[in-house]
Structure 1
């Protein structure tokens, strides 16, 4: 007779416990135990947060335990159970850990491997090799690709959040219901009192404060006070919500015929425009992607407009980035003037407002939705389809796709769908946002997801020329620490390049991302195979950085920078001016969003800027998928390095009127979950 001590841990999230019957079977190299009901008479086991232990007596020697089988049978009503882990104390006193971190639903049997991570080549027994194959076959039935719109990255085959596999659903669907959250935001922000005046205009700029003052914070207040100033306009290209849109300009494009005479008064180094270009002090923000995108026409009572501006920026003698020329349409001509700081105050202000509105559209749809949300979903689906739970890369990456597929499914269900919430306030609603993503997909490039490469490609890597570009500085610091962590973990499991090349599951994961997620589009530059440890480290770093830091950088500042409506108008109600000297304050107010759309916009940016309940930040891995000591040591080192970055950022931000904290690791969630 052989006695095993079985310990079972139930999750602590809502509804994790169960009253159903739980059966367990041990599978060893020499045989199996009988299927045994885990039950303590007169004791309510498998409660939420419980850790229960049982004695399991096996009559014959079953050899080394290879698998633990769990089966749940209905007691009264359907009752899901969340199993965290199972530990086994063998008759010899050895402890074995079997991570689970899964929902056990219906009457399905699940099989667990012990916690040691293994590559496909590490499994030498038929039992373990078959287990890997069965697990992936089952997952591929659950996680299917689907094209939501032509030209989009592929997404999960699910129309509703409730259609998703239980393991990737939110613990509480109400917590991510966009309709409920926006309604709650409107109530919390006292915005409902304006909704009866939905399509009426504001009276003046001060009138916007009526929906702003109750929820103002340090940065948003500063924006409200200084939004009309050129330094504030330029600063947002560096450290606002969309700090990826501008690049160094070495030669002016022919479509933007700015002359030295136009801007010489703005140049502070006694150099000509051509000389400033040569010195690397001129930058360009080109919103060409907006050209030809149809404006929102879902409301027949309100005509809305979009523009595709170009904005020339100058790094002045004080190393502040300021605008020196703006053209509101792509094609030059007599009806498309180049606006300058020397023009009338109202002309220049409206030109800047148009740039900020275009910036908002690209930020929301391309920088935020496509490049973080949709790409993270691609990584997540491929992960579940091609990497079994025993694979070290699954263990490493699964915390970084937590709730991502769920939040995107909810967005397609309520937010960006036809007649969704996106249509209520945004100028690209009603289909324009779809056209933008389709266009952006033709320009998607793998190297832009490699943070240091993206900085160099845009020519903005010099701290000497752009000393206040905190997005760059903090992003590089976080990238390097993530890359160092990934390097340590990868080197534990891969001895050489051949081990990478022969890892069939890794290659299937990378291929799934490229062939299905990105529809075999070679122009993206995403690899179809990975042949070296160096490339593997880069690829895994891209996945972790995109799903954590990059999303944090472009998401959680939305309320800070976009809550003051004139600074980031979600739509415009008058066309771009075609001549100078005709704009007055009344025309600017009539151009800005009406009261109703302003309220919807404010509720949206507030809701999207909130962390999830019980958020897990970068380096926090409460689900212990890894049990090996070297990996645990690497995780501790990773956390320590992240803490150092957070401390440096906190110290830098002291007494700053505009602190930059979006890439502070203690504010970077592990995954795209909001």
Structure 2
């Protein structure tokens, strides 16, 4: 998909009748350059738009291309029965796309592109914007290299964007709030039975005073006990000479405050792996929280961010290019949400995830650990649960009756509902019945690749609705589309744009193994990585926290021109505007430390493009 890389073709003059189709041809000239055309505008007189013909294809020398009407057709339209040559051309174009968009399978990761096609590369202007953002990061890192101590670092921070709430780093309430409005807000779960606590060495006499006198069983029964268990980190590879915890943390809901009550830094019980409580020594407890958050950052970056927004969505995008013609209405629906996804992933895999690059240098898990976590999580990630917000909320037991104050959940749900209405309306418009859907060979080929195993040449994604590798009902297709659009927009915004405010990627030294008293300068500060790495980290997270594309619903490229579908887009935009107003109203009533502007639709990009 191309944004801004187009040939404008404008025709003007007086027409005696409506133009229903146009034909574009490129001669065998000496210029060995393909035409990349997004749209052709037909004007009655200069400036008076008569009709837009969507093209969105490459036209090579000696080729011609016929664009009929709004050029939005299902492959089982009767038009193709009457003119089989048009269907032949459509199928030939798809064969070319399969040659250009090849699957790559590597290290058990989600499917990515074997080679980035020319049409997926950044446009010239967007490339300049990315280069400008990266140059800012380089400047910050160079300036930061002059810092010699923590005092110099604090002074430098004041020269540019200071992380939000930097002064509340030792606060228990803030630590609890991070599970509800932080950068990794979808891992907290309600404890539903004592079995979930089997690995924790918690004595009732230690925990009961922190549960307002309740026993563990009573707290579970009262639906007030919550857990984050990062067991997946237990055998995760890590950077040399670095310790990576695999912690378990318990939280207790006091009215609408989620408060930490216990942290165990490793999975197995042992004498040198105690459970830490807020009643322990102040700096020992702070260290336990620091090591927990360091582990949480590895989960966030590898799984919540890189693995299950960037990479998992790339597989769906590649499959769409391979199986859905650019004339297909579902391709046009999804196209704005795949913008630059493959290009940013290509850059990220080289500059972030590759051996010796930024993740290796800055994160406790290193690149090998990141690969391990992404691949390991693939065994459990399901599109219809972890990738579907309403189902995920129920699965984790964090509905409003259980957690009254949960900004991520509440704000994300508002936009999800707008996406839901938009997708349901579009699917009903494009498919008048389930029978039309079942008989669509392109959409069924796309569906077939989704949960076909990687060893058989598919994406290997779990939780895809439908039977025997196909969609049987329109609501099955609609669910997949909602999950994709939600993940590419809302979910990516939630896990991406707060990184600068909250991130700490590596701790050095040893986590606490006992409950002796500790000191800020002697024990806590020395665990923080060197100043030069902190500045590199700040530069990286500043880049990742930058919004570089349009807000949701304001598409960079308009693929949809059919009047009936345009009406649905306009209604989607109205619903998003109402959502914006509602979220801004909510934030007016939330205290400063509880404000959550990150899922205001005006702040959510259409796609994963940075």
Structure-1 separation of matches of 2:441 and 2:433: 15
In structure 1, what is the equivalent of residue 363 of structure 2? 426
Matched, 1:670 2:606: yes
Alignment of 1:345-424 (within 5 A): 345-424=282-361
Structure-2 separation of matches of 1:423 and 1:351: 24
Gaps of 5+ in 1: 1-10, 18-45, 58-62, 298-302, 563-568
- SS of residue matched to 1:371: helix
- Find the partner of 2:110 among 118, 130, 153: 153
- SS of residue matched to 1:487: helix
- Find the partner of 2:388 among 440, 444, 450: 450
In structure 1, what is the equivalent of residue 239 of structure 2? 296
Matched, 1:226 2:168: yes
Cα RMSD of the aligned pairs, angstroms, is: 2.9
Structure-1 separation of matches of 2:563 and 2:127: 39
What is the deviation of 1:582? 5.3
- Find the partner of 1:258 among 202, 208, 211: 202
What is the deviation of 1:207? 6.1
Is the 8 Å Cα contact of residues 72 and 104 (structure 1) preserved in structure 2? no
Is the 8 Å Cα contact of residues 111 and 312 (structure 2) preserved in structure 1? no
In structure 2, what is the equivalent of residue 213 of structure 1? 158
What is the deviation of 1:450? 1.2
Structure-2 separation of matches of 1:579 and 1:109: 75
Is the 8 Å Cα contact of residues 120 and 342 (structure 2) preserved in structure 1? no
In structure 1, what is the equivalent of residue 98 of structure 2? 140
Structure-1 separation of matches of 2:260 and 2:101: 48
In structure 1, what is the equivalent of residue 495 of structure 2? 554
Alignment of 1:597-636 (within 5 A): 597-612=533-548, 615-621=549-555, 623-636=557-570
Deviations 1:112-162 (A, max 9, x none): 443142211113221221122111111111111112x2211111111xxxx
In structure 2, what is the equivalent of residue 117 of structure 1? 72
Is the 8 Å Cα contact of residues 101 and 623 (structure 1) preserved in structure 2? no
Q: Quick one: structure 1 residues 425 and 670, their matched pair in 2 at CA, closer, same or farther if it must change by over 3 Å?
A: same
Matched, 1:192 2:142: yes
Is the 8 Å Cα contact of residues 40 and 54 (structure 2) preserved in structure 1? yes
Structure-2 separation of matches of 1:662 and 1:247: 22
Q: Quick one: structure 1 residues 127 and 326, their matched pair in 2 at CA, closer, same or farther if it must change by over 3 Å?
A: same
Alignment of 1:486-505 (within 5 A): 486-505=423-442
Structure number with larger C-alpha Rg: 1
What is the deviation of 1:425? 1.2
Is the 8 Å Cα contact of residues 355 and 367 (structure 2) preserved in structure 1? yes
Q: Quick one: structure 1 residues 293 and 544, their matched pair in 2 at CA, closer, same or farther if it must change by over 3 Å?
A: same
Alignment of 1:40-55 (within 5 A): 51-53=10-12
In structure 1, what is the equivalent of residue 211 of structure 2? 267
Is the 8 Å Cα contact of residues 403 and 672 (structure 1) preserved in structure 2? yes
Matched, 1:637 2:575: no
- SS of residue matched to 1:390: coil
Is the 8 Å Cα contact of residues 11 and 43 (structure 2) preserved in structure 1? no
- SS of residue matched to 2:404: coil
Is the 8 Å Cα contact of residues 11 and 42 (structure 2) preserved in structure 1? no
In structure 2, what is the equivalent of residue 32 of structure 1? none
Matched, 1:247 2:189: yes
What is the deviation of 1:174? 4.2
What is the deviation of 1:83? 2.4
Structure-1 separation of matches of 2:344 and 2:453: 20
- Find the partner of 2:580 among 638, 646, 651: 646
Q: Which is helix-richer, 1 or 2?
A: 2
Structure-1 separation of matches of 2:407 and 2:584: 12
- SS of residue matched to 2:366: coil
- Find the partner of 2:38 among 75, 84, 87: 84
Is the 8 Å Cα contact of residues 399 and 671 (structure 1) preserved in structure 2? yes
Q: Quick one: structure 1 residues 625 and 316, their matched pair in 2 at CA, closer, same or farther if it must change by over 3 Å?
A: same
Structure-2 separation of matches of 1:108 and 1:513: 33
- SS of residue matched to 1:418: coil
Q: Quick one: structure 1 residues 101 and 54, their matched pair in 2 at CA, closer, same or farther if it must change by over 3 Å?
A: farther
Which is further off, 119-128 or 547-556? Answer: 119-128
What is the deviation of 1:216? 3.5
Is the 8 Å Cα contact of residues 186 and 599 (structure 1) preserved in structure 2? no
In structure 1, what is the equivalent of residue 222 of structure 2? 279
What is the deviation of 1:345? 0.5
Matched, 1:68 2:68: no
What is the deviation of 1:622? 5.3
Is the 8 Å Cα contact of residues 23 and 66 (structure 2) preserved in structure 1? yes
What is the deviation of 1:539? 1.1
Deviations 1:343-392 (A, max 9, x none): 00011000000111011111111000111001111111011111111111
Which is further off, 108-117 or 637-646? Answer: 108-117
Matched, 1:164 2:125: no
Structure-1 separation of matches of 2:54 and 2:283: 63
Structure-1 separation of matches of 2:246 and 2:278: 19
Structure-1 separation of matches of 2:429 and 2:527: 59
Structure-2 separation of matches of 1:12 and 1:367: 27
- SS of residue matched to 1:264: helix
In structure 2, what is the equivalent of residue 542 of structure 1? 483
- SS of residue matched to 2:76: helix
Structure-2 separation of matches of 1:70 and 1:56: 21
Is the 8 Å Cα contact of residues 98 and 112 (structure 1) preserved in structure 2? yes
- SS of residue matched to 2:386: helix
Structure-2 separation of matches of 1:166 and 1:520: 23
Structure-2 separation of matches of 1:605 and 1:153: 24
Structure-1 separation of matches of 2:454 and 2:561: 31
In structure 2, what is the equivalent of residue 26 of structure 1? none
Deviations 1:594-622 (A, max 9, x none): 1121111111110000011xx22211235
Structure-2 separation of matches of 1:229 and 1:498: 57
Structure-2 separation of matches of 1:70 and 1:573: 63
TM-score by length of structure 2 reads 0.90
Deviations 1:307-355 (A, max 9, x none): 10000011113x1011000000000111100000010001100000011
Structure-2 separation of matches of 1:281 and 1:355: 21
What is the deviation of 1:267? 2.1
Is the 8 Å Cα contact of residues 450 and 460 (structure 2) preserved in structure 1? no
- Find the partner of 1:339 among 273, 276, 281: 276
Structure-2 separation of matches of 1:639 and 1:150: 40
Gaps of 5+ in 2: none
